[in-house]
Amino acid sequence: MTDIDTIRLNFSPESLMLLNAILAIVMFSIALDLKPSDFKALMRTPKALLTGMASQFLVLPALTFAMLLVTNPRPSIALGLILVASCPGGNISNFITHRAGGNSALSVSMTGIATVAAIFMTPFNIALWGNLYEPTRAILRQTTLDPVSIAITVFFMLILPLAVGVLTNVRRPDFAARIRKTMQRISMAIFIAFIVLALAANWSFFLSYAAAVAGLVILHNGLALTGGFLSASVMRLSSYDRRAITIETGIQNSGLGLVLIFAFFGGLGGMAVAAAFWGIWHAISGLALATLWSRREAQR
C-alpha cells in the first residue's frame, strides 16, 4: 500500500473553484439570519461569546496537539487534524444548535465572528501548532504557507458573502425572509452533493485509507465537543449557551479545510482524507448529540 503521506487526491483546479463558490453560497445563506444588532447584543454581554471563541481557537488546537503527542499518527494525518482544528465553526452548527434546543443566536453570531477571526487565527494556528509538532514541521517547511494568501481565500469565500448576507437582511428584510430557508436548503444540498462526488472520484483511496483516520477523527471530534462543554461549564454558563458552544466547537468548517489543503498543500492524501472524514463524522455526532439534548429543555 502506498504511503498516505505521499498520495495526492484527484481534485482539479475547476473543482476547487466550484467548492469555493459553494461555500460562499452556504455562508451567504447563513448570513441572511444575521443583523448587526445580533452582534451588538452579544457585545453587551460578551461572556458566552468570548468563551466560545476561546474554546474554538485556543482550547481545541491545544487539545489537538496533546492528542497528537499521545497517538503519534502519520505526519500528513496529524497536519490535517491541526488544520481542521484551526478552522472556524462549520456551516451546519447553527442548524444543529437549533435542533439541540441551544442558543441559536449565539451560535449564528459565533459562526460569523469566528469566520472573521479566521482570517488571522486559522493561518496562525496552523503555523504555530504545525511547527510545534515535530513530525508535521517538515511538511510545513516544504510548503509555501502564505498567511496573506490564506487570508484572501477566507475573505472571498467566507467574509464577503457573510457581509453581503447581513447587508441583504438589513436593506431588504422582506427579500431575505423570502429566500432564507430556500437558500439554506439548496446550499446545503449542493454542498453535500459536491462532497459525495469528490469522494466518488477518490473512492478507492478512501476505502484503502479511511480506517487509518476513522478512529483518530472520532477521538478528535469527541475532544472538540468535550472541550466546548467543559469551557462553557468552567465559565458557569447556562445550559442554553453551553449547548451552542459545545456544538460550535465540535462542528468545524471542514469544507474550508479541504479548500486550504488543495490550494496550499496540493491535496496531500492524509490531510485530505482526515478533513473529508471530519466532514462526514461531525454531522453524525452533532445530530446524535442534538437529538439527545432535544429531549430536555435547556435552562436559560
Domain map (residue ranges) of the chain: 13-293
pTM score: 0.83
Run of H or E including 165: helix 160-171
Residue type, 76: S
Q: Which residues of the chain have pLDDT under 70?
A: 1-16, 38-39, 41-42, 45, 144-145, 195, 198-199, 201-207
User: So what's the pLDDT on residue 201?
Assistant: 65
Run of H or E including 213: helix 203-234
State CA 293 to chain mean position distance: 21
Distances (CA, A) of 146 to 87, 120, 136, 266: 16, 12, 17, 14
User: So what's the pLDDT on residue 184?
Assistant: 74
Tens digits of residue pLDDT in 115-174: 888 888 998 999 999 999 999 998 888 776 677 777 887 788 778 888 888 889 888 888
On whether the 13-293 domain is CATH 3.40.640.10, my answer is no
Cell matching residue 234: 468552567
Computed over its alpha carbons, how large is the radius of gyration of the chain? Answer: 18
